[in-house]
Amino acid sequence: MNEIKNYGYIDNLGITEYFAFPIYIAIILFISYWIQKKHIKENIIYKYYTRAVTFKLIGAIIFCLVYIYVYKGGDTISYFESARAFTNLLFEKPSYFFKVMTEGPSIENYYLFDGRSTGYPWDYMYYDTRTLLVIKMLVPFMLLSFQSFVLTTILFSWISFLGIWKLYTVFSIYYKKYHNQLAVAILFLPSVLFWGSGILKDTITLSASCWYIYTFYKLFILKEKRIKNFSILLVVAFVIFSIKPYILYTLLPGSVVWGFYEKILSISSRVIRYLIIPVGLFVSVILVFYILTSSGTFDINTLLSEASEKQSDLKQSYYSGNSFDIGSYEPTITGALSVSPAAMAAGLFRPFIWESKNVVMLLSGIENFIYLLLSILILFRFKFGKLIKIISSNPLLLFCLIYSLFFSLIVGLSTANFGALVRFRIAYLPEFVSFLLVTYYLMREKKASKI
């Protein structure tokens, strides 16, 4: 038997993939159409379901082709090759498979693999607990796709779509009349369709963060099926925390404020509402701080130090000139605040069109230019006081704003490479674009009603 090697690239699609590909696509679209037909009479937003799944699959296919024929390798291939070693281990040595699947990384477990019958996972991924979890999550998809890179990516993308759809349902409940605009913001953003459809951490954390918002809404706002939704919330929070904990840190402040504001706005007396709002905000800040510090894993100084080091590394020349610079800063709260405007601007709107050096970055730059124009339009076309009133009277918009600003700050502080930036941003981009669109249409309606 020949040795099973990792190459970090795939030369071409296999013959099995060419034959199986249309069958898998047909099955997925048939299931999607059945779901759409089942629900569309009760909920008009399901008119987008099959179309959204189709675009998601197209995003996954383009992602595969770009990484095979343009980038010629990358982390997504390394994830695939590592998961292949795990699935080979299942068939060759089942008892070893269950051991490595249920235990953390160790030298002993690493050498349960071999070069002849299983191949080895990439060591830099295996010994990182966060990437190891992603590898383990890939195994069921590898089994269902017969270890095909393209089919695994398609199945992985399809399942991740469920979280994005859940996010869309929440926004459509709050702003039903804008469900068409929200479909664009959540289901059809090009950068999210591309970067959120491949075998990457970002695909998982995007879907998990959407599930978090959906189950938070069901559990704390509607108070429905508490045991079920609490269980789901715990699972998705664990997944986010295990892969990218800072996403959970950015979700918490906005979601706590969201929950408090829903309670405050239910009070009929306007005077009492205005009196309670400052208290609610103060309690929200204290509660978030308590949750984060009591977890034993949140240390602001450590996080800022790691962010500063990561940003410095991403500026190095070996990133092929795709780096940018918001300015150096000391890893302290004061130091971070000194560059926070530049960090947020980078997290929300960069790369600019003129900073793009390849087609993928150019498309992202065009998207960012549209978001920037819409942001400027909202800020300068409408009165600032009215804008604040609209946002403060819409708890979901307030959540989106807080989540997007916190996340963009962290991404801007820790990232100095455009390739990483456009991937990391997809976890909050649907919420940010939804915030912009809904705010714009609400402000426009309010302005028109005064005429």
The verdict on 192 and 332 lying in the same domain is no
The verdict on 190 and 298 lying in the same domain is no
Q: CA 63 to CA 125: how far, in whole Å?
A: 21
What is the domain extent for residue 198?
1-211
Structural domain ending residue among the three candidates 211, 244, 279: 211
Residue 325 covered by a domain: yes
Residue 285 covered by a domain: no
The verdict on 297 and 200 lying in the same domain is no
For the record, the structure tokens of 242 come out as: 């295990």
For the beta carbon of residue 416, count every other beta carbon within 10 angstroms: 22
The verdict on 33 and 166 lying in the same domain is yes
Q: CA 256 to CA 76: how far, in whole Å?
A: 34
Domain count, the chain: 2
Residue 204 covered by a domain: yes
The verdict on 63 and 198 lying in the same domain is yes
Q: CA 315 to CA 362: how far, in whole Å?
A: 20
Residue 83 covered by a domain: yes
Averages of pLDDT over each 10 residues, the chain, 451 residues:
83 77 95 96 96 97 92 93 96 94 95 93 95 97 93 96 97 95 96 95 96 96 94 96 90 88 73 62 60 54 57 52 69 75 88 84 90 92 84 90 90 81 93 96 79 54
CB 52 within 8 A of CB 188: yes
Nearest residue to 325 via CA among 245, 261, 416, 257:
416
Residue type (1 letter), 386? K
The verdict on 198 and 62 lying in the same domain is yes
Q: CA 188 to CA 171: how far, in whole Å?
A: 15
Burial bucket for residue 387 (CB in 10 Å: 0-12, 13-18, 19+): middle
DSSP-assigned letters across all residues of 357-391 = -SHHHHHHHHHHHHHHHHHHHHHHHS-HHHHHHHH
Mutual orientation of helices 149-174 and 49-65 as an angle, nearest 10°?
140
- The owner of tokens 């705010």 is 439
**What integer pLDDT is reported at residue 366 of this predicted model?**
93
The verdict on 301 and 173 lying in the same domain is no
The verdict on 325 and 434 lying in the same domain is yes
**What integer pLDDT is reported at residue 276 of this predicted model?**
64
**What integer pLDDT is reported at residue 421 of this predicted model?**
87
CB 80 within 8 A of CB 199: yes
For the beta carbon of residue 72, count every other beta carbon within 10 angstroms: 13
Q: CA 205 to CA 243: how far, in whole Å?
A: 7
Burial bucket for residue 446 (CB in 10 Å: 0-12, 13-18, 19+): middle
CB 165 within 8 A of CB 102: no
Q: CA 122 to CA 110: how far, in whole Å?
A: 10
Nearest residue to 157 via CA among 186, 207, 198:
198
Structural domain ending residue among the three candidates 192, 211, 230: 211
Structural domain ending residue among the three candidates 196, 211, 226: 211
Helix (H, G, I), strand (E, B) or coil at 323: strand
The verdict on 189 and 302 lying in the same domain is no
Q: CA 22 to CA 410: how far, in whole Å?
A: 41
For the record, the structure tokens of 415 come out as: 């990232």
Residue 143 covered by a domain: yes
Residue 217 covered by a domain: no
Q: CA 200 to CA 137: how far, in whole Å?
A: 11
pTM: 0.91
CB 90 within 8 A of CB 100: no
Q: CA 402 to CA 432: how far, in whole Å?
A: 10
Residue 141 covered by a domain: yes
Indicate the DSSP class of residue 66.
I
123 alpha carbon, distance to own chain's centre: 25
274 HSE (CA, 13 A, CB side): 4
Q: CA 394 to CA 122: how far, in whole Å?
A: 47
Residue 363 covered by a domain: yes
For the beta carbon of residue 427, count every other beta carbon within 10 angstroms: 28
- For residue 323, list its beta bridge partners: 417
Q: CA 61 to CA 67: how far, in whole Å?
A: 10
The verdict on 197 and 316 lying in the same domain is no
